[in-house]
Chain A
Amino acid sequence: MAEALLAHMPALAVVVPLVAAPIAFLAGARWGRPVALVASALSVPVAFALAWLVSAEGEKLRYQIGGWEAPLGIGLVVDGLSATMLLVTAVVGFAVTVYSLGYFADKERYRFFWALWLFLLASMAALFLSADVFNLYVCLELVSVSAVALVGLSGQRDALVAAMRYMLAAILGSIFYLLGVALLYGAFGVLDLAHLAAVLGPDVTGQAAFALITVGLVLKTALFPAHFWLPPAHANAPSPVSAVLSALVVKGSFYILLRLWTDVGDPSYVPGMGTLLGVLGAMAIVWGSVQALLQERLKMLVAYSTVAQIGYLFLLFPLVEIAGSHVVDAWSAGVFHAVSHALAKSAMFLAAGAVLSRFGHDRIDGLGGLSRRAPVTTMAFGLSGITMMGLPPSGGFVVKWLYITAAIESGAWWWAIVVLAGGLLAAGYVARVVVPGFAKARDDASDLDVDAGRLPRRMEFAALALALAALALGVLGQPVLDLMAVGSPASGVIPWTGQ
C-alpha cells in the first residue's frame, strides 16, 4: 500500500490541491478555510516524499498519466529541479495558507479566495511536474487565470486595473508560448520534453519556436523590460497573494525557460540568446533596485525588489552558455536563487501585508518606529532583506557565492560585479524600510495608529518562519543543493554529489 502510494506521489502532488479546489468552492466562505488548510498541509508531506524519492533514486522519475507512454500520453516528470520547486511551493503555500487564515478572517468579500488559492497551488504543482510542452501551456493558463483572479479579488480600483494589465500580459505571454509550441510541433512532431530533447536539431522553425516561447515566458516572468505589469499587480493584490505571486508564480514561467534551455536544449541552441537574457537580467537588477529605492509604498518597493531579483535568475543563462565545465555553479546559483528568493520574498510580502493590515497604510514615510510597534514583523522583513542583499548567512549568499564563482571561473567577471552591485542596491531599498523602523517614535512623525490592535500571531510568525527558512538555507542549504542536482543537466559534473 505504501509503495503504491509512493508510486502515485507525482499525481497526488497535483491532485490533492486540485480536488480540494472545487470542494472549497462548494464549501463556501466558512468551510473553505479548513479545506484549504488541510490540502496545503497535505501538500507538504507529499512534496517531501517526492524529494525523498528522487534523492533515493538519484535520477529522474516519470509518471505516465492515463497509462499512455510518452509521445502519445502526457507524463509527469520528477527530477531534482521539479522536486525542489514543488517543495518550495508546498512550504510557502502552507505558510501563506496559515497567514491567510488570519488575513482573510471572516471576510465575506474574500469567500472565493480559498478555491482560487487552491487552484493556484494545484496549477503550480502541475506546472512543475509536467513533461509536455502543450500541457505546460494549459498549466501556464491555469496559473495565470488563478493568479489574476486572486489579484483582482479585492475589487478595489487599483487592484482591478492591475489585474487587467496582468491578465493582458499573461494572455499575451501564453499566446506567444502557444505559437512557439505550434512551431515546435510543426518542426519536430512531438510534445514530450524528453522526446523533444532527443530530436531537437538545428532547425530554423525550432529555433524560432524557442525564441517565441522565450518571449512569452520572459513576459510572464516579468523580466525587464517586460516587467510593466508586475509592480502594480504584486503591490495591489491581497498580501498573501502578492507573496505567492512573487515567490512562486514568476518562478513557474522561469522554470519552463530553464527546462527548455538547459534540459531540452542548451543555451547555445540559439547563439547569443543566453547573453541577451543575461543582459536583460542585469538591467533588471539595476533598474528594479533603483525603482525600489524610489517607491513610496512598501508593497510597491517589495514588488520592484521582485523585478530586480528576477534579474538574478536570468544571469544563469549567459553563465551556463559560456561557463563550459563550470555549468554547475551557474545552474545551481539560478535554481537556488529561485528557492531562496521564494522564501524570502514571500516573507517580505507577508510582513508588508501585516503592516498594511494592521496600520491601514503602507506608506514608507509613515513607518517610523515600526520595530517597536511590530518587532516580529520588522524582524521578518529585515531577515528576508538579508537574503535579498545576498549577505551571509542566507540563501542569497549561497547564490551570490555560486554566481561569482561561475563568473570568475569562466572569466566573465563582469557578471560578478552585477551580482555585487545588486546586493548593495538591495541593501539600499531594504534599509529604506528597516531604518525608519528604528527611528524614535515621536507622536508627530509616526503614522502608525497607536490603537491598532495586535495582529494574529500566526500572521507574524508565518512571515518570520519563511524568513528564517531563507536564512537557514545559507547554512543548511546543502541538502537542497543535493536535491536539485538530481537529474539536472549538470549532475554529471557536480562535485558535491561525488558523481
Chain B
Amino acid sequence: MDWAVIALLAAVALPFATAAAIFALGEARTTARSAVNVVGAAGTAVAVLACAASAWQGRAGGPLASAGIGLLDIGFGFEADMLGAVFAVVAGVLWLVTTVYAIAYMSHSPDRARFFGFFSICVGSAIGIALSENLITFFVFYEMLTLATYPLVVHSGTPAALRGGRTYLMYALPAGAALALGVVWLHVLAGPVSFVPGGALPLGLAATHPVQLTAIFALLMLGLGVKAALFPLHGWLPAAMVAPAPVSSLLHAVAVVKAGVFGIARVVLEVYGPDAALLGLTLPLAALAAFTIVFGSVRALAQDDLKKRLAFSTVAQLSYIVLGVALASPLAIAAGIAHLAHHAALKITMFFTAGVVAEEVGAYRVSELDGLGRRMPVTMAAFSVAALGIVGIPPAAGFASKWLLGTGALDAGAGWVVAVLAASTLLNAAYFFPIIHRAWFRAPRAEWATGPDPGRAEADLRMVVPLVLTALAGLAMGVLAGAALSPARWALFVAVMEAM
C-alpha cells in the first residue's frame, strides 16, 4: 500500500476511530477526550490533504488511489479524485478548526462525549461521501450522515430541539428512501455505477430507457435535494438551527448540506454526464435551483433569528452550486465546485460568530445585535467579511464563484441566470447589510456595557481564532482565486475534466 492509499483509508477511518475513542472515554474524562478529538481531527486534516495531493498527482488521468471491500456485486469503494478531494478537504480541514471552536463552545454543556462522538461520525461520513468511488458507497455514507446528525440536532434536549430534530427526520428519512430506490433502480438498469468524469451510464442507455432514467434522476434528486435544501425540500434546515453552534457551523453550513449538493454534482456530472442534458433533466434542475436561490433569499429577509437568517441564506447559496452543476458549462461547473469551498469558509465563519454572540452576550436575534461591533470587534469584523463575501462583494471568495457562475451561465446560453444572480445579490445584501449595520453603526445595548471591559470583550480565544481563520480563508480564496491550487483553479481543472 502506498502512501496515497493509506491516506485515503485514514481520511475515512480516522474520524470514526476518533468517535469510537470518544465514546469509550466517556463523559468524565474531558481532557483526554479533547486531546483525542484534536489529534484525530488534525490527523484527518493531514489525511485529506494527502488525498488531495494524490488526486492532484493523478489529475491527468493517472491512476487514483483507491480501496474497497466487496459486498453484493459492487461493494464499497473509495477513491481520491479531484472532485472528491474538494469536499474532503473542506470537511476535513474545517473539522479541525471546528473542533477547537467546539471544545471551547461546549465547555459548559452536558453530554459532551455524545456530542463529540456523533460529530466525528458526521465528519467521517462526509469524508466518506466525498471519497466514495461509487453510488452505493456514497449512499451508505449519506444515510450514515443522516442518522449521525440527528443526535446533534437535538443535543440540547429542549422541546424545540426535539421538534427540530423531528422535522429533520421527517425530511431526511423519506428522502433516503427515495434515494435508495433510485440507487437500486439505477443499479438494476445500468449495473454497478462508479463515478466517472463525463458520466458513467452505458452507451445508448439514455436512448433506450429515457423514461426510467428520468424517473431515477427524479428519485435521486429527491433524495439528494433534501440535504441540498432545494425548494421545496428545504424546510428542515431552518428548523435544525436549534442545534449547538458547532453543528450549525460545520454540519448545517458545510458537511451535511454540501453532502447533498456534492451528491447532485456526482450524479449529474459523473453518473449521468451528457445524458442529463440529453434527457432534458438539467434545465428543470437549474430552474429549481434558480428559484431556490431567490426563494431562500426572500425568506432570509424576513428572519429575525440570526441563525435562521443564516440558514435561509444557506438554502439560497447551496443552490448556486446546484445551478452551476446543472448549467454544465465548464465555467459554471467550476463555479459550483468552487462555491462548495467558498461558501463553506464564509458561512462557517458566520455561524461561528452567531454561536459566539449567543454564548457571550446572549443575543440570538438580528435585532439584538446593536453595536456589537464595539463589544467584540474582531468577531464582528470576521462576520462582516464573511457576509460581504456571501453577498458576492469582491474580493472575498463569494465573488469569484459568482463571477464564474455568471460567465459560465452565459457560456451555457442561459442568460436568465444573470438576472437571478443580480436579484440574489440584491437580496443577499438586503438581509446581510442590516446585520452589519446594526453591529457597527448602532449604539451598543446598555447591558453589554456592564462587563469588566466593555470596549473589548472578545470571546474565548479558542473560538475567536477559528472564526478569524475561516474568515481569512474566505478572503484569501477570493483574493488568490487565480493562484495555483486555489479552490477556483482546482475547480476549473475538475470542470474541464467533467466537461470533456
Query: Does A440 lie within 8 Å of B157, measured CB to CB?
Result: yes
Provide the bound-state CA to CA distance between A386 and B187, in Å: 23
* A375 interface hit (Cβ, 8 Å): yes
Determine whether the beta carbon of A392 is less than 8 Å from that of B184: no
Are B181's CB and A420's CB within 8 A? yes
Are B71 and A386 within 8 A (Cβ)? no
Q: Is B230 an interface residue (CB 8 A)?
A: no
Query: What per-residue 1/0 map shows which CB atoms of A420-439 lie under 8 Å from chain B?
Result: 11011001000100011011
Contact B71 A477, beta carbon cutoff 8 Å: yes
User: Which chain B residues in 378-420 approach chain A with CB under 8 Å?
Assistant: none
Indicate whether B139 reaches chain A with its CB closer than 8 angstroms.
yes
- Interface members, chain A 402-432 (any B CB < 8 Å): 402, 404-405, 408-409, 416, 420-421, 423-424, 427, 431
CB distance B143 to A475 under 8 Å?
no
B143–A372 CB distance below 8 A: no
In contact, B144 and A435 (Cβ under 8 angstroms): no
* A371 within 8 A of partner (CB): yes
Contacts of B173 in A (CB 8 A): 389, 423-424, 427
Q: How far is the CA of A392 from the CA of B140 in the complex (A)?
A: 5
Cβ–Cβ < 8 Å partners of B156 in chain A: 440
- Cβ-defined contact, A398 with B71, below 8 A: yes
Task: Please count the residue pairs between chain A and chain B whose beta carbons lie under 8 angstroms apart in the complex.
Answer: 96
Bound Cα distance from A112 to B56, whole angstroms: 67
Residue of A nearest to B110 (CB): A372
Please determine whether A431 and B184 come into contact, CB atoms closer than 8 angstroms.
Answer: no
Distance between Cα atoms of A435 and B164 in the complex (Å): 11
CA of A267 to CA of B147 in the docked complex: distance in angstroms?
38
Q: How far is the CA of A178 from the CA of B476 in the complex (A)?
A: 79
Number of residues on chain B facing chain A (CB within 8 A): 41
Asked if B174 is an interface residue, CB under 8 A from chain A, the answer is yes
B110 partner residues in chain A, CB cutoff 8 A: 372
With a CB–CB cut-off of 8 A, which chain A residues contact B69? Answer: 475-476
A439–B73 contact, CB under 8 A?
no
| Interface: A393 (CB within 8 A) | yes
State whether B166 touches A435 (Cβ < 8 A).
yes
Q: How far is the CB of B313 from chain A (nearest CB, A)?
A: 27
Q: What are the residues of chain B within 8 A of A397 when measuring CB–CB?
A: 140, 143
CB distance from A389 to the nearest CB of B (A): 7
Complex Cα gap A391–B162 (Å): 21
Whether B143 and A392, one on each chain, are in contact in the complex, defined by CB atoms closer than 8 angstroms, is yes
Inter-chain contacts of B154 with A (CB < 8 A)? 435, 438
State whether B140 touches A371 (Cβ < 8 A).
Answer: no
Closest to A422 in B: B177
- Nearest-Cβ distance from residue B256 to partner chain A, whole angstroms: 15
Q: Is A42 an interface residue (CB 8 A)?
A: no
Is B158's CB within 8 Å of the partner chain A? yes
**Chain B CB within 8 A of A481 CB:** yes
Q: Determine the distance from Cα of A277 to Cα of B28 in the docked complex, in whole angstroms.
A: 52
- Quick check: is A401 within 8 A (CB to CB) of the other chain? yes
- Bound together, the chains give a CA A424 to CA B181 distance in angstroms of 13
Residue total for A at the interface (Cβ-Cβ under 8 A): 40
Report B208-266 residues with CB < 8 Å from chain A CB: none
A66 contacts chain B at the CB level, 8 A cutoff? no
Q: Does B114 contact A (CB under 8 A)?
A: yes
> What is the bound-complex CA distance between A389 and B146, given in angstroms?
13
Contact B72 A393 (CB under 8 A): no
Whether A478 touches B71, Cβ cut-off 8 Å, given contacts A371-B114, A392-B144, A416-B181, is yes
Q: Does B1 lie at the interface of the complex (its beta carbon under 8 Å from any beta carbon of A)? A: no
State the CA gap A389–B154 with chains docked (Å). Answer: 20
B69 nearest CB across to chain A (Å): 7
Using known A-B contacts A405-B188, A416-B184, A441-B157, determine if residue A423 contacts B177 with beta carbons closer than 8 Å: yes
Q: For residue B76, which residues in chain A have a CB less than 8 angstroms away from its CB?
A: 475
Residues of A within 8 A of B359 (CB): none
Asked if A496 and B72 make an inter-chain contact with CB atoms under 8 angstroms apart, the answer reads yes
User: B157-196 vs A: 1/0 string, CB under 8 Å?
Assistant: 1110110011001000110110011001101100000000
A288 contacts partner chain B, Cβ-Cβ < 8 Å: no
In the assembled complex, B151 has its CB within 8 A of some CB on chain A: yes
**B residues 6-49 touching A (CB-CB < 8 Å):** 23
A residues in contact with B147, CB < 8 Å:
386, 391
Instruction: Mark contacts of A439-451 with chain B using CB atoms, 8 A cut-off: 1 yes-contact digit, 0 otherwise.
Output: 1110000000000
Min CB–CB distance A427 → chain B (angstroms): 5
Is B158's CB under 8 angstroms from A440's CB? yes
Asked if residues B162 and A405 are in contact (CB atoms below 8 Å), the reply is no
B111 touches A439 (CB 8 A): no
Distance in Å: Cβ of B94 to nearest Cβ of chain A: 24
Residues of B within 8 A of A475 (CB): 69, 71, 76, 140
What A residues does B181 contact at CB under 8 A?
A: 404, 416, 420
Tell whether, in the assembled complex, residue B188 and residue A393 are in contact, meaning their CB atoms are under 8 Å apart. Answer: no
Question: Is B70 a contact of A438 with CB atoms below 8 Å?
Answer: no
Structural contact, B71 and A404, CB atoms closer than 8 A: no
Residues of B within 8 A of A440 (CB): 156-158
Any A CB within 8 A of the CB of B155 = yes
Chain B nearest Cβ from A129, distance in angstroms = 28
Flag whether A67 is at the interface (Cβ < 8 A). no
The reply to whether the CB of A369 lies closer than 8 angstroms to some CB of chain B is yes
- Bound together, the chains give a CA A495 to CA B181 distance in angstroms of 22
Q: Which residues of A are found within 8 Å of B187, using beta-carbon distances?
A: 405
Chain A residues near B73 (CB-CB < 8 A): 495-496
Q: For residue B57, give the distance in angstroms from its CB to the closest CB of chain A.
A: 29
A400 proximal to B (CB < 8 A): yes
Which chain B positions have C-beta within 8 A of A435? 154, 162, 165-166
Contact B165 A438 (CB under 8 A): yes
> Taking A393-B140, A427-B169, A431-B169 as contacts, is the C-beta distance between A398 and B72 under 8 angstroms?
yes
Q: In the complex where A391-B147, A424-B177, A431-B166 touch, is A405 in contact with B114 (Cβ < 8 A)? A: no
Q: Which residue of B lies closest to A496 (CB)?
A: B73
Residues of B contacting A405 with CB < 8 Å? 184, 187-188
Hey, which chain B residues are within 8 Å of A481, CB to CB?
Answer: 71-72
When C-beta atoms are compared, the residue in chain B nearest to A326 turns out to be: B188
* Residues of B contacting A386 in the complex (Cβ-Cβ under 8 angstroms): 147
The 8 listed contacts between A and B (C-beta, < 8 Å) are: A371-B111, A402-B72, A420-B177, A424-B173, A424-B174, A439-B159, A481-B71, A495-B73
Known: A435-B166, A441-B157, A475-B71. 7 other contacts (CB 8 A): A375-B114, A379-B23, A391-B147, A391-B176, A423-B177, A423-B180, A424-B177
A contacts, CB < 8 Å to B? 369, 371-372, 375, 379, 386, 389, 391-393, 397-398, 400-402, 404-405, 408-409, 416, 420-421, 423-424, 427, 431, 435-436, 438-441, 474-478, 481, 495-496
B contact residues vs A (CB 8 Å cutoff):
23, 69-73, 76, 110-111, 113-114, 136, 139-141, 143-144, 146-147, 151, 154-159, 161-162, 165-166, 169, 173-174, 176-177, 180-181, 184-185, 187-188
Closest 9 CB pairs of A and B: A440-B157, A392-B140, A404-B184, A420-B177, A438-B154, A408-B188, A391-B143, A427-B173, A392-B143
